[in-house]
Every structure is written in structure tokens, then in C-alpha cells.
Amino acid sequence: MNMPVGPVAQRKPSDDAAGPLPAGCTNFKLRQLTRRVSQHFDRIVAPAGLKTTQYSLLSHIERLGPVSPGVLARAMTMDASTLTRNLKPLLKLGWAELGPGVDGRSRVIVSTAVGRAKRAEAGRLWKRAQLDINARLGNAKVVHLHDLLEECLELLEPEAEGVDG
């Protein structure tokens, strides 16, 4: 039996679901999309002096704070070393502070007044970037994309893969 050649190969009748087989690398396609979306948001939010990663981190700190680094890293689905690396510029700029936690061994992160003002400034631009994405893709497609991403995130939870995390 000849398998079709091209971007999408057809499933064999013995497969569990009808429809085309995925072609290409999911990781690469997702990275392409996230780079394109990040470039869009970075370009629009740049006048506030923030990158998308910094805006997201400030937003999480403000929403969850005071928050331990571990809780913050889990909420943002990142490892501790990535959080530390992304947090350093915010601490240096005085937009966030790392202070003592409930005991001598723990620490908490809080946003400062300057950080909250910076996040609010960037938030107005962020909203403009999101509305532009909605207009370019269409609201229905963005809602569908968000739903699909949420479903995939749930299915790929580390516990679902049998990985401790």
C-alpha cells in the first residue's frame, strides 16, 4: 500500500480515529506560533519598557503576591532556574522585591508600587495587542485556540505523563 506523500498523510482504517495524521513537528509549529505572537506583543508593549516575559511575571506576582518562588514557578509552568533568571531584572529595576517568608528558610516575592505602576502602563498596551490579535484572527478562532490550548495543557500535565513535578 502506498502512503500519500505531502503535508498530511491519511490514517489507516485500523487507527482509532478517522481523519488526517499530523505531519511535521508539533514542537516546531508551536514555537513558530509563540515566537510570532510574542513578537507582536513585544512590539506593542515595548514603549512601556517591558518584554512580554516581564509583563507576565509582574502580572502573576501582583495577582498571587506575596508569593513564594515555588508557587509562582508552578503557576507560570516554569522551572525554578527560569523563574530566577526572569526575576533578576525585575528585582534590579525595583519592580519586585524578594523578602522573608513565614519562616527563616522561606522567601516571598511582592510587586512594588513602581512595579504595579509599570504593569498597569504595560497592561493598557497589552490589551491593545490582544485586541489586535483578536481582530486579525477573529474572536471565534481566538476562543477556539484558547480552549484547545487549555485542553492540551490539561492532557499534558506532568502527572498525566507519569512524571513527578
| Chain segment 64-123, per-residue pLDDT in tens | 989 999 999 999 989 999 999 999 999 999 999 999 888 888 899 999 999 999 999 999
Set of cell numbers at residue 20? 488526517
Where residue 157 falls among pLDDT bands split at 50, 70, 90?
confident
Domain limits, the chain:
50-126
Where residue 36 falls among pLDDT bands split at 50, 70, 90?
very high
What pLDDT, on a 0 to 100 scale, did the predictor assign at position 76? 92
Indicate the average pLDDT of the chain: 86
The pairing of strands 107-111 and 96-100 is: antiparallel
Cα–Cα dist 36/113, whole Å: 32
CB 45 within 8 A of CB 80: no
The answer as to CATH 3.40.1360.10 being correct for domain 50-126 is no
Partner residues linked to 100 by β-bridges: 107
What pLDDT, on a 0 to 100 scale, did the predictor assign at position 101? 83
Where residue 17 falls among pLDDT bands split at 50, 70, 90?
low
pLDDT at 10 over 50: no
Which ranges of the chain does DSSP label H, i.e. alpha helix?
A: 26-45, 52-64, 69-75, 80-92, 113-137, 139-155
Cα–Cα dist 99/107, whole Å: 6
